[in-house]
Copies of this chain bind each other. A is one copy, B any other.
Amino acid sequence: MTTWLPTLKTKTPEEGYDLAVKMARVAVKLTQPDAEVRDRLRPKYAEDSAALIASSQVVATHFATVAAANGYWADA
């Protein structure tokens, strides 16, 4: 897990968004390292509106950081 986040810089806003998604997921992995358990939880929460929205909130928070780190992709 030493190289999953080498930089906050991305070429485009989309890539920044994808990075934010990744950053949201890593915290879950660190708290629940057992992939089998996560696989078991996934179908349930993927059908749970509250969980989906809460996940989207985490992505939004990370995206704010990534966007700032990229100067909001001023040239895009």
A residues within 8 Å of B by Cβ? 1-9, 12-14, 17, 21, 23-28, 30-32, 37, 41, 44-65, 67-69, 72-73, 76
* Chain B residues, CB < 8 A from A23: 17, 60, 63
User: Dominant SS at the A interface?
Assistant: helix
Task: Please pick, from B21, B37, B51, B60, the residue contacting A46 in the complex, using a CB distance under 8 A.
Answer: B37
Number of copies: 6
Please tell me if the beta carbons of A5 and B13 are within 8 angstroms of each other in the complex: yes
Complex CA–CA separation, A31 to B12 (angstroms): 21
Contacts A45-B53, A48-B49 known; 12 new A-B pairs at CB < 8 A: A7-B13, A7-B76, A8-B76, A17-B23, A21-B30, A24-B56, A24-B60, A31-B46, A53-B54, A60-B61, A64-B65, A68-B72
